[in-house]
Structure 1
Amino acid sequence: MKRKHLLIPAIALAAALGLSACSAAGAGTASPAEAAGDPVVGGSLTYFANTEPPVWDGQRIPSLNLNSINSSIFDTLIAQAEDGTYLPGLASAWEISDDGLTYTFTLREGVTFHDGTPFNAEVLKQNFDRPVNEPDLATVSNGIEENVVVDDYTLEVHLSRKNAALLHAFSTPHWPIYSGKVLSEHSSAELAASPELSIGTGPFKVGEYVKGSRVVLERNEDYDWAPETWEHEGTAYLDEVVVNFVPETQARIGAITSGQADAIDQIPPLNIPEVEAAGLSVLQKDNTGTPYYIALNPNLAPFDDKNVRLAFRDAIDIDGLLQGVYGGVYEKAWSTTLPDTPPLGSFDKSLVDSWEYDLDSATERLEAAGYTEVDSEGYRVKDGERLTLQWYVDSLYSQTDQRQQLGEAIASALKDAGFEVVRTPLDTATFGAEIAKNEHHLADSSRGFADVGTSVSPFTTRSIPTSNGGSGINYGLLSDPVIDEAYEAISTSLDPAVRIEAAQTAQHRILDEGFAVPVYVPKKIVGTTESVHGWKFDAVGYTDSFFDVWLEQ
């Protein structure tokens, strides 16, 4: 049956944060079910994803592909509505203490995991205790200090510090809630290695997994606790979803145009006309959070000189590169916070057109920094040393959005200003540790999250990676008191005006000092056949659950 969205205010925090996500039903974000009639139950959807998740545990290494799969396997504690407010998920209600350090969750009763075991406060404690006991998890950053079971269906979460984005964190696939039996019987490494241990409470369960090839999701026939954010009640429409891992772009496109696939992920912008010409639908959704950006390391010469950092930015013709690599489909990012990142207004519109490609300016800045000579190969030289930059690249993401091609184009174009750029690919397991050695000048990243805190966090002292890799995402190793102070306000205040002002302060500081170069606004681009309906994206811009998806027969 169709479900009407009764947007009941979740708690005072939701209103205070002023979170407002782009509608998932907006133009180009979902196929029109109305045009095809009533949803049909049954069928198998074949989906070609561009990569296999490197790790299957969302608390360890969150990734776009993992989120898209996990959102169908695991329910979230909180659900985020299209208008940004929070609604019950596995938690039916919650309260926050006056000091903001204790969250009390009342849990939904009658929920069971795929293995038949019950969901309750003790199991939720097992899940939330993980970052307390495993300091290398990405979720450690949420600041959970202790979890206390009050009764069978009430859990208190005690924080070591205020975290204004905690409810949003609990609404994302970054917090998969595993069966207590799985957590008791298996190690963290085992959870990360295979989705066969991904035993959640969601509308689909893992039926088959072939490493390097595919994962099959089967409908959970016992599912009857969908949150209000979905369009129907009861079980999912589809019998199963077959997710094939196909990194080759043309293979994915060939599969959908030939009828071998019902949907494909990550259509390169230059291939959109080809897909649309075949009579297929192309669904798009801009991300929120941080754009794709290049972080500069100001601790290491020559980037310890502000003139060189700003010269680097001035020397990149971002508009031309985005047109050449993406055909203009991706828009230029003007700030390290993306438009529509909640709370609305966090993105500072005054930064639009505030900087541009200017080779003459780059030359002037480099000469002011002492790079007055040019060697026989056209590179700038100072005191006999060539202006060489080391760019470390996480290989896991190098194929996302054709970033390898874009990065090479950027490196090549920078020679016009006299920069020599050496790109070094590193596997994900060692990337953080190598960054922590402080031997690089550049590293690139993007991070989707529907809360402004995540767009500032990568530039804070607390996010600097440790020597063992850790979970630090500050790839420029930046430690700046102005940004740290702004982040403190963003991460602790429940007043949207305070958070917005602090976010804009951080954005100006990052750009004025040349600590990073925003490049483009990432977006999810999915292709589907005309028989696919009910496809949705979440507020971050990732593919959400397959729960409402159905196939026209």
Structure 2
Amino acid sequence: MNRKLLTLPALAATALLALSACTTTGANAGEGGAAASTPTPGGTLTYFANTEPPVWDGQRIPSLNANSINSSIFDTVVAQADDGTYKPGLATKWEISDDGLTYTFTLRDGVTFHDGTPFNAEVLKQNLDRPLAEPDLATVSTGIASTRVVDEHTLEVVLSRQNAAFIHALSTPHWPIYSGKVLSEHTSAELAASPELSIGTGAFKVSEYQKGSKLVLERNEEYDWAPETWEHDGPAYLDEVVIQFVPETQARIGALTSGQADAIDQIPPLNIPEVEGAGLTVLEKDNTGTPYYVALNPNLAPFDDKNVRLAFRESVDIDGLLKGVYAGVYDKAWSTTLPGTPPEGSFDETLEGSWGYDPEHAAKLLDAAGYTEVDSGGYRVKNGERLTLRWSVDSLYQQTDQRQQLGEAIASSLKDAGFEVIRTPYDTAAYTAQLAKGEHHLADSSRGFADVGTSVYPFTTGGIPSSNGGSGINYGLLSDPAIDDAYAVISSSLDPAERIAAAQQVQHRIIDEGYVVPIYVPKKIVGTTDSVKGWKFDAVGYTDSFFDVWLTK
């Protein structure tokens, strides 16, 4: 079988890692990598993606779908090596003040954007100043207070607070560095709406876009500033990459097996044997960050009662559901921080096996909560009110990992315990605003990040969505001082041991209080033909860049 499970080397416990618990970039796709033979320049890679990004601006919504594309269009300020250290990107070096608040970046000379304009300190200032003027951007949490151009190739950045993940943030596609001309002439809404305005300094540039259909990237022939974390210098190998948005699983698989596609995204676990049986390659990479989880809203009855929250969790047969829906390909998640999330050791291994399916105990907890009666429909009742839960669903992401089927299976199985679960889909544009109303009991999510701080933030008061949508990702509307206090340490401390201890405290608090039900460890599953070489993922688990990818003739 042509199946490869990608793993990451251990992250080095360097001082720089202590500063910014980071992503490992450039992890090579094993035998499918460039080391298999001598790379051959040229050719077009046809890639079928499962979802078109709802927003193209990486600063606005942390979307892995957009990151998988933007990482080939935009360079990052710094780059991360496989050992967890940082290397020059658009910045050749950086200095950090003793108090951890001032960063001075020396920038690379001779870099140009796709529109021919130069990259310099003034343009970087424009990009880093964006969250100062746009408070609804996801990057507001970075904590930038001010920026100052020292000279053409030197920029000083002052933070409002110590941020242990600041360098990490600048190494990810969440900080796309746009052309200054684009930022001056177009609104933030326009940047979000179309990749045709995604003008960066990266190895590929946008040549064609058909909304709802495809995006074509062509090689940037002027590209000559790849960071040392990549496998080669100069322009990319591929002439172009054609990305087609095809949500139908069988259509993607059919395109791969028939040779219409060179690579496809998000193969459902149950379809892996079909792809392997056709003699094709399956590449897998576990995500870091948060698992796929179901958040419970503790502000709304009946989940304001801890007994009901714990009963809900103990009524879900996660192992059985994962086996039935995913044939056991996905591992059960035990915590809200995934294994492998930097810094190493952040995931609390003591939580493994500490909770699980226990319907008898769940029944006792519901009795203790006052749900002692059962109505004609088989549902628990208290004071004449049925135990009914409203589950708000983001319709876009239900295509991912067959989550629609999983969610329906969870809701159906809970009936045996006396819970009535009603799932209601919402358009992505209205989803966060809907959650902000606080009328839901359940909401599901997963967040791929390679930093422990970003695995904790979705459970902090600061992450609660605002009524106008905003960038809040605390879908359970959880506000717990113990978690907020721990997050303050995680987000500011420069000591990795302190961050790890605080992160483990949060994980225990969430599990002990029953705020969240972790379900499974997400993973990227990509199918390719044998002609595709050099495929890469980073620690989060999405395609890192098409820069080193090449095709055999």
Q: How would you bin the TM-score normalised by the shorter chain?
A: over 0.9
Residues 480-508 of structure 1 deviation map (CA, whole Å, 9 limit, x = unaligned): 11111110110000101000000000000
Q: Which residue is 2:422 aligned to?
A: 422
- In structure 2, the gaps of 5 or more residues are 1-8
Question: In structure 1, what is the equivalent of residue 404 of structure 2?
Answer: 404
Residue equivalent to 2:6: none
**Counterpart of 1:72?**
72
Aligned to 1:348: 348
Matches within 5 A, 1:28-177: 29-33=29-33, 36-177=36-177
8 A contact 2:23–2:451 mirrored in 1? no
Is residue 510 from structure 1 mapped to residue 518 from structure 2 by the alignment? no
Partner of 2:5: none
Of 184-193 and 9-18, the range deviating more from structure 2: 9-18
CA distance in 2, matches of 1:265, 1:315: 33
Aligned to 2:534: 534
In the TM superposition, what is the alpha-carbon distance from 1:444 to its structure 2 partner? 0.6
| 1:333 and 2:329 aligned | no
Letter in 1 for 2:508: H
- 1:369 corresponds to 2:369: yes
Q: Distance in 2 between matches of 1:263 and 1:85?
A: 30
Q: Which amino acid aligns with 2:493?
A: S
Deviates more, 1:416-425 or 1:426-435: 426-435
Q: CA deviation at 1:20?
A: 6.8
Is 1:225–2:225 an aligned residue pair?
yes
Distance between the aligned counterparts of 1:145 and 1:294, measured in 2? Answer: 35
Offset of 1:431 from its aligned partner? 1.2
Residue equivalent to 2:262: 262
**C-alpha distance in structure 1 between counterparts of 2:435 and 2:428, whole Å:** 11
SS at match of 1:399: helix
Are 2:412 and 1:445 equivalent residues in the alignment?
Answer: no
Q: Is the 8 A contact 1:18 1:344 kept in 2?
A: no
Residue 546 of structure 2: aligned partner: 546
- Greater CA drift, 182-191 or 500-509: 182-191
**SS of residue in 1 equivalent to 2:519:** strand
Q: Kindly state the Cα deviation for residue 21 of structure 1 after the two structures are TM-superposed.
A: 5.7
**1:10 touches 1:88 (CA, 8 Å); kept in 2?**
no
User: What per-residue deviation string (whole Å, max 9, x for no partner) do you get for residues 150-183 of structure 1?
Assistant: 1111111111122111111111111110000111
1:284 corresponds to which residue? Answer: 284
For 1:232-247, what aligned pairs fall within 5 Å after superposition? 232-247=232-247
Deviation at 1:100, TM superposition (A): 1.5
Q: Distance in 2 between matches of 1:160 and 1:18?
A: 17
- Assess if the C-alpha contact under 8 Å between 2:103 and 2:156 holds in 1: yes
TM-aligned CA deviation for residue 16 of structure 1: 2.1
Matches within 5 A, 1:514-525: 514-525=514-525
Deviates more, 1:510-519 or 1:79-88: 79-88
| Alpha carbons of structure 1 residues 50 and 147: separation in structure 2 relative to 1, 3 Å | same
Q: Is the partner of 1:115 in helix, strand or coil?
A: coil
SS of aligned partner of 1:398: helix
Instruction: Tell me, yes or no, if the aligned pair for 1:49 and 1:266 is still in contact at 8 Å.
Output: yes
Q: Which residue of 2 aligns with 1:250?
A: 250
Q: Which residue of 1 aligns with 2:16?
A: 14
Residue identity matched to 2:376:
S
User: TM-score if structure 1 supplies the norm length?
Assistant: 0.96
Identity %: 78
Q: Deviations over 1:445-487 (max 9, x none)?
A: 1111110001111111111111111111111111111111110
**Does structure 1 retain, via aligned residues, the 8 Å contact 2:17–2:343?**
no
Q: Give the conservation status (yes or no) of the 8 Å contact 1:21–1:340.
A: no
The 1:18/1:90 distance shift into structure 2, 3 A limit, reads closer
TM-score by length of 2: 0.96
SS in 2 for 1:260: coil
- State the partner residue of 1:314: 314
Relative to structure 1, is the Cα distance of residues 34 and 163 closer, same or farther in structure 2, using a 3 angstrom cutoff? closer
Structure 2 distance, partners of 1:395, 1:13, is 42
Q: CA deviation at 1:94?
A: 0.7
Structure 2 distance, partners of 1:251, 1:477, is: 38
Q: Distance in 2 between matches of 1:444 and 1:64?
A: 16
CA distance in 1, matches of 2:533, 2:465: 42
CA deviation map 1:41-88 (0-9, x unaligned): 000000000011111111111212111110000000111111221111
Gap change, CA 1:442 and 1:80, over 3 Å in 2: same
Alpha carbons 1:18, 1:84 under 8 Å: kept? no
List per-residue Cα deviations over 1:415-441 (Å, max 9, x = no partner).
110000111111122111111111111
CA distance in 1: counterparts of 2:138 and 2:24, whole angstroms: 26
CA-CA distance at 1:32 after TM superposition? 3.2
Q: How many residues align?
A: 544
